[in-house]
Amino acid sequence: MAAAGVGQQWVLVEMVQAFYEAPTYHLILEGILILWIIRLLFSKTYKLQERSDLTPKEKEELIEEWQPEPLVPPVPKDHPALNYNIVSGPPTHIITVNGKECINFASFNFLGLLDNENVKTAAQASLKKYGVGTCGPRGFYGTFDVHLELEERLAKFMRTEEAIIYSYGFATIASAIPAYSKRGDIVFVDEAACFAIQKGLQASRSNIKLFKHNDMADLERLLKEQETEDQKNPRKARVTRRFIVVEGLYMNTGDICPLPELIKLKYKYKVRIFLEESLSFGVLGEHGRGITEHFGINIDDIDLISANMENSLASIGGFCCGRSFIIDHQRLSGQGYCFSASLPPLLAAAAIEALNIMEDNPGIFQTLRAKCERIHKALQGISGLKVVGETFSPALHLQLEESHGSRENDVKLLKRVVDYCMNSGIALTQACYLEKEEKCLPPPSIRVVVTVEQTEQELDKAASLIKEAAQSVLN
């Protein structure tokens, strides 16, 4: 081995000469050493498992001894999530929950399109032509002409180059994020981001940096930190993609994201922005195009917009839109797109018709906004409950002003408020979360959803009823 070390300094000729001059035993010894090195290089690294010297009998005993945990722990009989509300009949403006007729303040049917006759007729026509299922993923004869039409219409509606549809709202952003952001990339994400975003981030295995909810200073701090980090290792920085993932209107808080400031940060620090608009699409802006229209921002400044078609459009599924350069990539890399059956054509047809209605009645968004503002105002000043969310958010949260001991207690209290309202004909629901799974668990809340179908009297009635319920339960 030492000879090899010295050998490096020799010129080639000398090496060959030395090789000829070396005694045979020396060559044999070196040969063996070389073979040994090769063996070491190519043999498997030793495995811990193989070092145990257990006899087969001992192994059998161990196997005999091992007791796994039960597949699932038992669920307590009184778990609030175990007994669902049963809705009989359509979940529209008037809804029958657990046998009681109520006005619906719980479903995200913002524009009231679930019950719309035109939408139903379009879906019926599609059902007559295509049947229900597609029997295949988009790649394998699961692409229908309606899918292409819907994608084109969505792209046109949003004024982007391209749109791509998914068959499940949740899977949309959860598939889109890991299509771009990979291991080693960095994602800056608002801590109030919804669960679908969290799952998408987890699937991407990227480096995740949470910033405080809507706190641009905190985001900038993180971006600056990253910038100093990058200066230390510019080679790595050149291949590390960065993304900011935010929601237009936050599902968990009802807040709007400060998009203009985000755009500034985007260009300053060269970070791409992914925007989840499930709550703001078909709600904000003059034509319902969402938060970009609300702020008057060039939509091309946002790298990717995703939204589901399960709220305003009252269908099923989701879509992403943006420039072709970005969106097209998902057609081969979006897992929920490639590996899942495509959207049933009747649901696509329903979404197309819903888009038609949105385009034909731009006034609908003003109506919705006025109603949101009305109930937001009416719900102020309830003792014990505070309203969280923008005045124009169609889904707002009622949180307890102060906690009554534990989360469990709070949930129970809010449930009593909900039950009280339900008994008097207003259907409400608490916002449900998986408490152990959420990254930053939002406080328990009642979610009040406004739709254009609710009349002003109904809005006032709901507000006064909630006030009454809070008074009787909380005081």
Partner 1 sequence: MERPGRAAAVAGAQPRANGCSGAGHGTLRNGYVRRFPAPDTQVDHIVHNGGLYKRPFNEAFEETPMLVAVLTYVGYGVLTLFGYLRDFMRQWKIEKCQNATEREEQKDFVPLYQDFENFYTRNLYMRIRDSWNRPICSVPGAKVDMMERVSHDYNWTFTYTGRVIKDIINMGSYNYLGFAQNTGTCQEAAAKVLSQYGAGVCSSRQEMGNLDKHEELEKLVARFLGVESAMAYGMGFATNSMNIPALVGKGCLILSDELNHASLVLGARLSGATIRIFKHNNMQSLEKLLKDAIVHGQPRTRRPWKKILILVEGIYSMEGSIVRLPEVIALKKKYKSYLYLDEAHSIGALGPSGRGVVDYFGLNPEDVDIMMGTFTKSFGAAGGYIGGKKELIDYLRTYSHSAVYATSMSPPVVEQIITSVKCIMGEDGTIVGKARVQQLAENTRYFRRRLKEMGFIIYGNEDSPVVPLMLYMPAKIGAFGREMLKRNIGVVVVGFPATPIIESRARFCLSAAHTKEMLDRALKEIDEVGDLLQLKYSRHRLVPLLDRPFDETTYEETED
Residues 159-198 that bind partner 1 (CB under 8 A): 167-171, 180, 194-196
Which residues inside 245-274 make contact with partner 1, applying CB under 8 A? 267, 270-272
Q: How many residues bind partner 1 (CB under 8 A)?
A: 122
330 binding partner 1? (CB under 8 A): no
List CB contacts of 284: < 8 A, sequence separation 6 or more. Answer: 248, 249, 256, 290, 291, 293, 294, 365, 392
Which residues inside 446-475 make contact with partner 1, applying CB under 8 A? 447
> Pick from 93, 103, 104, 452: which binds partner 1 (CB under 8 A)?
104
> What CA–CA distance (Å, rounded) separates 302 from 292?
8
Q: Would you call 415 exposed, middle or buried from its count of C-beta atoms within 10 A (0-12, 13-18, 19+)?
A: middle
**Angle of CA points 100, 120, 168, to nearest 5°:** 85
- Per-residue binding letters, 110-139, with partner 1 (x by CB under 8 A): ----xxx--xx--xx--xxxxxxxxxx-xx
Which residues inside 62-91 make contact with partner 1, applying CB under 8 A? 62-63, 66-75, 79, 81-82, 84-91
> What CA–CA distance (Å, rounded) separates 78 from 258?
41
> Pick from 350, 387, 421, 469: which binds partner 1 (CB under 8 A)?
350
Residue whose CB is less far from partner 1, 207 or 471: 207
For the CB of residue 145, give the shortest distance to partner 1 in the complex, in Å.
4
319 binding partner 1? (CB under 8 A): no
> Which residue, among 108, 143, 128, 45, has the nearest Cα to 316 in the 3D structure?
108
SS3 call for 176: helix
> Pick from 10, 19, 36, 339: which binds partner 1 (CB under 8 A)?
339
SS3 call for 345: helix
425 binding partner 1? (CB under 8 A): no
**Cβ 368 vs Cβ 394: under 8 Å:** yes
Which residues inside 278-307 make contact with partner 1, applying CB under 8 A? 300
For the CB of residue 422, give the shortest distance to partner 1 in the complex, in Å.
10
- Per-residue binding letters, 143-162, with partner 1 (x by CB under 8 A): xxx-xx--------------
If you count them, how many residues does the chain have? 475
List CB contacts of 55: < 8 A, sequence separation 6 or more. Answer: none
36 binding partner 1? (CB under 8 A): no
> Pick from 10, 19, 36, 325: which binds partner 1 (CB under 8 A)?
325
Which residues inside 363-392 make contact with partner 1, applying CB under 8 A? none
Q: Which residues pair with 426 in a beta bridge?
A: 103
